[in-house]
Amino acid sequence: MTPNMTGAILMMASMASFTLNDAMIKLTGGAVPLMQLLFLRGVLSSLLILVLAQRLGAIHFRIASRDWWLIAIRSGAEVGAAYFFLTALFNMPLANVTAILQVLPLTVAIGAALFFREPLGWRRMSAIMIGFMGMLLIVRPGPEGFSLWSGYALMAVVFVTMRDLATRKLSPDVPSMTVTFLAALTVMGCAGLASIAEPWAPLDLRLTALITASSVFIIGGYWFSVRVMRVGDISFIAPFRYTGLVWALLLGWLVFGDWPSNLTLMGATIVVATGLFTLYRERRVSQS
């Protein structure tokens, strides 16, 4: 198997793991308060990440002060993303939330142009504008189509964009697993503090199994995503990130009985197509 094919399989496995994590969280059905849920998942995730990172020898904390600031921004953005994404997930079909998040390559491209002055030609700018029109088909702004939960999903996009932009500026010698561990620790700590203000719900065997499975799947997602960066050509592998939407559609239909409307599917297709074009143009620009 070629390195590119290995990378593609790892990327698809990463997207499947993250989507299964989302499904496990959604299956709790709000029986556990969000902050308690984030704290418990954070405890398990942090421990698993630490064990995994130490076994790989991929974690250390000898980091420059500039990178510590970027890690702090990234970790804060991770907290915001987790809160808004999971709140939207509890109140929207899985595929709809996932479809909105497919706009991320476009928002990251715009953020990089605005804040880092990275070049953004008219072709990519046109693709971004068309992609945002596709996103409007998904969220359907207006008194009948748009909901508060669509706004939460869009806020999750804002925070994930901030997280990815901060990650882009990190020094190459900062281990990915260190960054991942610190983000998980921050989410756990903030959720633990916030959970003090609300009563905890008792956990039965089903809820415990769902939270444990969620922690395992999210670690799987991180593990595969780290492996992806070590094999193949990232410009070939990156488009396979969109398989997360396929997993969300399948799981939403099989597990929750949800299937997006035709407008949502049309919007998701436009967003994915423009995202793929943006990745293609980014590759062409980097090679020129």
Residue 145 has pLDDT above 60, yes or no: no
* Per-residue confidence band for 32, with pLDDT thresholds at 50, 70 and 90: very high
Percent of the chain with pLDDT over 90: 31
* Per-residue confidence band for 211, with pLDDT thresholds at 50, 70 and 90: very high
* Per-residue confidence band for 143, with pLDDT thresholds at 50, 70 and 90: very low
In this structure, the chain runs to a length of 288
Q: Which residue would you say has higher pLDDT here, 77 or 52?
A: 77
Which stretch of 158-162, 194-198, 245-249, 269-273 has the lowest confidence by average pLDDT? Answer: 269-273
Question: DSSP 3-state assignment of 1?
Answer: coil
Instruction: Decide if 45 contacts 183 (C-beta within 8 A).
Output: no
Residue 288 has pLDDT above 80, yes or no: no
Q: Which residue would you say has higher pLDDT here, 237 or 244?
A: 244
Q: How far apart are CA 268 and CA 131, in angstroms?
A: 9
Q: Which pLDDT score, from 0 to 100, does residue 285 have?
A: 64
* Per-residue confidence band for 88, with pLDDT thresholds at 50, 70 and 90: very high
Q: How far apart are CA 41 and CA 221, in angstroms?
A: 14
Phi, psi dihedral angles at 90 (to 5 degrees): -70, -20
- Residue 183 carries which side chain, given as an amino acid letter? A
Closest by CA position to 34, among listed 151, 154, 198: 198
Average pLDDT value for the chain: 84
Residue 196 has pLDDT above 70, yes or no: yes
